[in-house]
């Protein structure tokens, strides 16, 4: 019996089995329609602000993972924006509801988004050297600077939305 178990374990380890985790992907990248239709957040239980914060976490981390994996920053951001929009649309969330009257993001959403975005802080640290192309003369991108930039990345990501809102 023990030999049979070991044999089946060995076969399962060396057999070519395709596994995947995360968002559904097609030939052209993420299947945004499938994400929109399938990736449901428990918004009825946790509230729309919390759901939006989670979607921001996914959007920011998708951008970081894209950069870390060799995509150009603009291309990675385009993909991340598509994922974010699919999540918002699929969960009937209105991005306009995140803003205060002055165009800033609500504090509760900002705090929760920062918390969520920090789930991918390790990947952010790996992406930063690919994201930062030019530094002033004499400034090095050492571990301490990367750590500091990773700390401010979540707020910088959210600031992009505030800036877009204030321009419109």
The domain limits of the chain are 24-167
pLDDT, position 137: 86
**Residues of the chain above pLDDT 90, percent:** 73
> In the prediction, which pLDDT does 138 show?
86
3-state secondary structure the chain: CHHHHHHHHHHHHHCCCCCCCCCCEECCEECHHHHHHHCCCCHHHHCHHHHHHHHHHHHHHHHHHHHHCCCCHHHHHHHHHHHHHHHHHHCCCCHHHHECCCCCECHHHHHHHHHHHHHHHHHHHHHHHHHCCCCCCCCCCCHHHHHHHHHHHHHHHHHHHHHHHHHC
- In this prediction, residue 26 has a pLDDT band, given cuts at 50, 70 and 90, of low
Q: What pLDDT digit, counting tens, does each position of 60-103 carry?
A: 999 999 999 999 999 999 999 999 999 999 999 999 999 999 99
């Amino acid at each position: 019996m023990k030999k049979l178990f070991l044999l089946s374990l060995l076969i399962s380890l060396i057999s070519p089995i395709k596994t995947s985790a995360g968002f559904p992907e097609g030939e052209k990248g993420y299947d945004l329609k499938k994400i929109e239709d399938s990736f449901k957040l428990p918004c009825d239980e946790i509230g729309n602000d919390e759901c939006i914060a989670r979607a921001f976490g996914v959007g920011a981390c998708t951008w970081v993972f894209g950069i870390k994996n060799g995509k150009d920053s603009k291309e990675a951001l385009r993909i991340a924006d598509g994922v974010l929009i699919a999540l918002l649309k699929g969960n009937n969330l209105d991005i306009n509801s995140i803003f205060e009257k002055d165009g800033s993001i609500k504090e509760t959403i900002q705090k929760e988004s920062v918390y969520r975005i920090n789930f991918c802080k390790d990947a952010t640290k790996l992406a930063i050297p690919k994201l930062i192309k030019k530094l002033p003369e004499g400034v090095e991108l050492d571990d301490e600077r990367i750590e500091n930039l990773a700390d401010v990345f979540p707020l910088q990501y959210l600031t992009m939305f505030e800036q877009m809102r204030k321009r419109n």
